[in-house]
Amino acid sequence: MRENKLKIWTIFFNNPIATEEIPALRGAVIANVGLENSLFHNHDADDKLNYRYPLIQYKRIHQKAAIVCVGEGVEAFGTFFANCCFDIRLGQRDVTLQVEQTNAYQHLVQLWDTMFTYHIRKWLPLNQENYEKYMALESMADKFAMLERLLTGNILSFAKGVGIHFEKQVECKITEIDEPRLITFKGVKMMAFDAEFKCNVSLPDYVGLGKGVSLGYGTVKCLDNNDNNINI
């Protein structure tokens, strides 16, 4: 079995943050490090959006600010720490970010013979086109099947974005899902899902799947005790 070790660095801050303040957290970090490193903001030199998988993700975990760095994003975010730019403007308030805990490790992202159980929060799987297809489906079974296909696609997009290729089929099964809620993302009303699913891929805790990953949407947490991390 091929091993794919992916660097992960999660920084937990001791600063409470509201969900609507996450874009301000992202903007404040970008303002401090500058626009030179596109990994922080996913725009190229011409300010055009780069559609690669975000390698620096801004989160709200346990009601506090957090940042998850993936792959090349681990080294890039070191510049923020090196500059010690912890005094930021968060919306209408000045904040000094206080690091509560950091967790740097390598995670084995690969296919297994067993299934892992995950929770995914604020998952945005539907764009305008597939939203119409989803709403046209009459049975919940068909809607579940469509969401499972989209989730599988999101996992494959994540793997491709971090340079990992699976040699066998990715399997996903949604086991629980809450009623979707409407949220506004980039000025557009979208359906956000909280769900539990089983998958034969070992995913790192707190990485995002689907749309809005850089702003904390689609955050995944493993519910099993399996540990595929190697501390670094």
Task: Please report the domains of the chain, with CATH numbers, ordered by start residue.
Answer: 5-107 (3.30.70), 110-225 (3.30.70)
Residue 41 CA: distances (Å) to CA of 28, 50, 103, 224: 11, 9, 22, 32
Would you call 152 helix, strand, or coil by DSSP?
helix
| pLDDT band at residue 177 under the 50/70/90 scheme | very high
Question: How do residues 48-65 score in pLDDT, each as one tens digit?
Answer: 555 689 999 999 999 999
Mean pLDDT of the chain: 88
Sequence-distant (≥ 6) Cβ neighbours of residue 160 within 8 angstroms: 53
What average pLDDT does this structure show over 220-230? 76
Would you call 130 helix, strand, or coil by DSSP?
helix
Asked whether the whole model's pTM tops 0.75, one would answer yes
What average pLDDT does this structure show over 183-200? 93
pLDDT attached to residue 87: 85
Per-residue pLDDT for 46 more than 50? Answer: no
Per-residue pLDDT for 232 more than 50? Answer: no
**DSSP tally for the chain: helices H, then strands E:** 4, 12
Task: Pinpoint the alpha helices (H) of 34-186.
Answer: 72-83, 128-136, 140-161
d(Cα 201, Cα 117) in Å, to the nearest integer?
10
Q: Which helix (H) or strand (E) holds 207?
A: none
Taking the alpha carbons of 35, 32, 8, 65 in that order, is the dihedral positive or negative?
A: negative
Question: How do residues 78-115 score in pLDDT, each as one tens digit?
Answer: 877 777 668 888 888 899 999 999 999 999 999 999 99
pLDDT attached to residue 32: 78
pLDDT attached to residue 169: 95
d(Cα 31, Cα 145) in Å, to the nearest integer?
42
Question: How do residues 149-175 score in pLDDT, each as one tens digit?
Answer: 999 999 999 999 999 999 899 999 999
Q: Can you say how many angstroms the Cα of residue 192 is from the centroid of all Cα atoms in its chain?
A: 14
Among 56-60, 184-188, 226-230, the least confident range: 226-230
